[in-house]
């Protein structure tokens, strides 16, 4: 028999600060331990179910390719094990939202929440605890996505390319590259970053006051660690109009061409960690290259990790509107769908320059955090919303 309808009343007062207790190193109380263990169980259960569904769908889609390539079961297991961290990092925000909705719904259905409020524990105390708890999940998501997920993505791609497609890694070639390096502006027609060679290079040398001093054109070049060796070079002196031809000529160019291969190849953010991506952005930005696409991807990694905190606020806000577990699950799943649409839309706008990289990547988080946070503040005290943050 279903329990009678129960609405969450606004709390009379807020309890002690969970954030201060965690910062000061104080141990969790009995209630917080209970909530923590319950949520970990539900989150683990939902995460396992979600990962199994994802893997089963992936297996059905790629089974024909595995069979046609003749790979063994061991290769298939290695492929999916390498992909598992990436799957977990992708589904974690939605899983965390569903787990928290179910947990609060069980507290309401079993009248545990009513008993807590009768004993002086307000709903605001749960909001603060789950906000801190959601922040901890954000850090876990960030470490998972930038550690195991990145390594797994590279292993998975290598297995797919070498074992399934039975292809050797292709040679990356870049074309029509311009960059600034010290006093030189360099133009390269074609280059092979892996081999450190290229053809059709033109170097414009500038002196004090940004005055053009010399133009150097070479048929081919070899990129060394701290210099470029130009072959069959021709030097044009701008002041005297003299022309010199040299079999070889060395310039102190230190640009790494591998960084440009990231821009011209099909970019996959999952294949690079935050540290690697940040290093490439700084390197290319110093050369004057357009890094809007890469900077948006860098912000996207941060925003997706901190979407778990937004999901915690959404779950908590839903129970100030609806008291039905089933309604909140349906609404929560709809919110997840809308969130992902806004997330992809914002990233696309950021990559194309219609929005700043930060705003494009954080668009979904900002909109839903303001909506859920505003609802929670309005629920607690419309006339004094800051009361939620005050200690008892």
Q: What is the pLDDT of residues 32-53, one digit of tens each?
A: 888 999 999 999 999 999 999 9
Question: Which of 258, 290, 319 is a domain's end point?
Answer: 258
pTM here is: 0.71
Give the separation between CA 35 and CA 41, rounded to whole angstroms. 10
Is 379 among the domain residues?
yes
Is 187 among the domain residues?
yes
Contact (Cβ atoms closer than 8 angstroms) between residue 156 and residue 79? yes
Q: So what's the pLDDT on residue 1?
A: 40
Q: Are residues 27 and 130 in the same domain?
A: yes
Q: Over range 50-65, report the average pLDDT.
A: 90
pLDDT level of residue 306 (50, 70, 90 thresholds): very high
Q: Over range 364-378, report the average pLDDT.
A: 92
Give the separation between CA 137 and CA 42, rounded to whole angstroms. 14
Asked which of 21-35, 154-168, 182-196, 243-257 is least confident by mean pLDDT, the reply is 21-35
Q: What is the pLDDT of residues 120-165, one digit of tens each?
A: 888 888 888 999 999 999 999 999 988 888 888 888 888 888 888 7
The pLDDT of residue 205 is above 70? yes
Q: Are residues 69 and 119 in the same domain?
A: yes
Q: Dig out the tokens for 117 from the structure.
A: 């409020």
**CB-neighbour burial class of residue 300 (10 A; exposed 0-12, middle 13-18, buried 19+):** buried
- Three-class SS state of 207: coil
Q: Work out the mean pLDDT of the chain and round it to a whole number.
A: 82
Q: Dig out the tokens for 35 from the structure.
A: 């909530």
Q: Over range 223-234, report the average pLDDT.
A: 87
Is 364 among the domain residues?
yes
Q: Are residues 201 and 230 in the same domain?
A: yes
pLDDT level of residue 381 (50, 70, 90 thresholds): low
Domain that holds residue 249: 174-258
Q: Are residues 97 and 123 in the same domain?
A: yes
The DSSP secondary structure of 14-63, one letter per residue, reads ----HHHHHHTTPPP-HHHHHHHHHHHHHHHHHHHHHHHHHHHHHHHHHH
Q: Are residues 154 and 198 in the same domain?
A: no
Asked which of 155-159, 254-258, 301-305 is least confident by mean pLDDT, the reply is 254-258
Q: So what's the pLDDT on residue 307?
A: 94
Is 74 among the domain residues?
yes
Q: Are residues 25 and 131 in the same domain?
A: yes
Q: Are residues 211 and 248 in the same domain?
A: yes
Q: Are residues 149 and 188 in the same domain?
A: no
The pLDDT of residue 15 is above 60? no
Q: Which of 27-31, 360-364, 374-378 has the highest mean predicted lDDT (pLDDT)?
A: 360-364
Q: Are residues 360 and 311 in the same domain?
A: yes
Is 275 among the domain residues?
no
- Three-class SS state of 233: strand
Q: So what's the pLDDT on residue 259?
A: 67
Contact (Cβ atoms closer than 8 angstroms) between residue 54 and residue 87? yes
Q: Are residues 71 and 137 in the same domain?
A: yes
Contacts of 27 (CB under 8 A, 6+ apart): none
Decide which of 194 and 21 is more confident. 194
Q: Over range 206-229, report the average pLDDT.
A: 85
User: Helices in 70-212 by DSSP H: which ranges?
Assistant: 73-109, 112-118, 123-146, 148-159
The pLDDT of residue 26 is above 70? no
User: C-alpha angle 179/180/181, rounded to 5°?
Assistant: 120
Residue 240 is classified by DSSP as T
- Of 188, 245, 267, whose CA–CA distance to 221 is shortest? 188
Is 284 among the domain residues?
no
Q: So what's the pLDDT on residue 383?
A: 54
Decide which of 192 and 94 is more confident. 94
Is 281 among the domain residues?
no
Is 75 among the domain residues?
yes
User: Which helix or strand (DSSP H or E) is residue 212 part of?
Assistant: strand 212-223
Residue 142: C-alpha distances to residues 10, 47, 90, 291, 294 (Å)? 34, 16, 11, 22, 18
Give the separation between CA 181 and CA 255, rounded to whole angstroms. 7
Pairing verdict, β 197-206 and 228-237: unpaired
Q: So what's the pLDDT on residue 387?
A: 52
pLDDT level of residue 392 (50, 70, 90 thresholds): very low
Farthest-apart Cα atoms in the chain, separation: 98
Q: So what's the pLDDT on residue 103?
A: 93
325-351 and 307-318 helices cross at what angle (nearest 10)? 150
Question: Which of 258, 291, 313 is a domain's end point?
Answer: 258
The pLDDT of residue 247 is above 50? yes
| Count of other CB atoms within 10 angstroms of residue 45 | 13
Q: Are residues 93 and 136 in the same domain?
A: yes
The pLDDT of residue 80 is above 60? yes
Q: So what's the pLDDT on residue 246?
A: 87
State how many domains the chain has: 2
Q: Are residues 85 and 153 in the same domain?
A: yes
Question: Which of 226, 258, 290 is a domain's end point?
Answer: 258
Q: Dig out the tokens for 68 from the structure.
A: 């046609």
């Amino acid at each position: 028999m279903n329990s009678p309808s129960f609405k969450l009343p606004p709390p009379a007062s807020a309890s002690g600060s969970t954030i201060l207790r965690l910062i000061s190193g104080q141990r969790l109380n009995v209630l917080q331990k209970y909530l923590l263990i319950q949520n970990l169980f539900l989150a683990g259960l939902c995460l396992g179910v979600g990962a199994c569904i994802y893997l089963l769908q992936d297996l059905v889609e790629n089974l024909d390719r595995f069979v046609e390539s003749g790979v063994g079961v061991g290769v298939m297991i290695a492929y999916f094990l390498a992909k598992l961290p990436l799957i977990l990092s992708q589904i974690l925000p939605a899983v965390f939202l569903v787990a928290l909705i179910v947990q609060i719904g069980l507290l309401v259905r079993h009248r545990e929440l009513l008993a807590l409020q009768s004993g002086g524990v307000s709903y605001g105390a749960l909001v603060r605890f789950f906000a801190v708890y959601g922040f901890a999940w954000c850090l876990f998501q960030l470490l998972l996505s930038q550690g195991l997920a990145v390594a797994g993505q590279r292993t998975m791609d290598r297995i797919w390319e070498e074992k399934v497609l039975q292809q050797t890694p292709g040679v990356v070639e870049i074309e029509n590259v311009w960059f600034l390096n010290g006093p030189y502006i360099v133009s390269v027609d074609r280059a092979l970053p892996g081999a450190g060679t290229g053809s059709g290079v033109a170097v414009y040398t500038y002196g004090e006051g940004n005055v053009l001093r010399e133009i150097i054109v070479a048929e081919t070049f070899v990129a060394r660690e701290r210099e470029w060796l130009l072959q069959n070079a021709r030097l044009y002196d701008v002041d005297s109009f003299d022309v010199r031809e040299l079999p070889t000529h060395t310039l102190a160019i230190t640009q790494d061409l591998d960084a440009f291969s990231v821009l011209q190849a099909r970019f996959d953010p999952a294949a690079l960690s935050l540290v690697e991506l940040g290093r490439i952005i700084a390197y290319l930005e110093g050369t004057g290259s357009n890094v809007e696409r890469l900077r948006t991807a860098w912000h996207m990694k941060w925003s997706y990790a901190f979407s778990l905190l937004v999901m915690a606020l959404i779950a908590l806000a839903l129970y100030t509107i609806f008291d039905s577990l089933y309604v909140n699950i349906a609404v929560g799943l709809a919110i997840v769908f809308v969130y992902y649409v806004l997330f992809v839309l914002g990233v696309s706008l950021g990559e194309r320059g219609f929005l700043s990289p930060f705003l494009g990547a954080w668009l979904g988080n900002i909109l839903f955090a303001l909506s859920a946070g505003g609802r929670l503040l309005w629920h607690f005290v419309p006339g004094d919303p800051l009361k939620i943050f005050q200690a008892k």
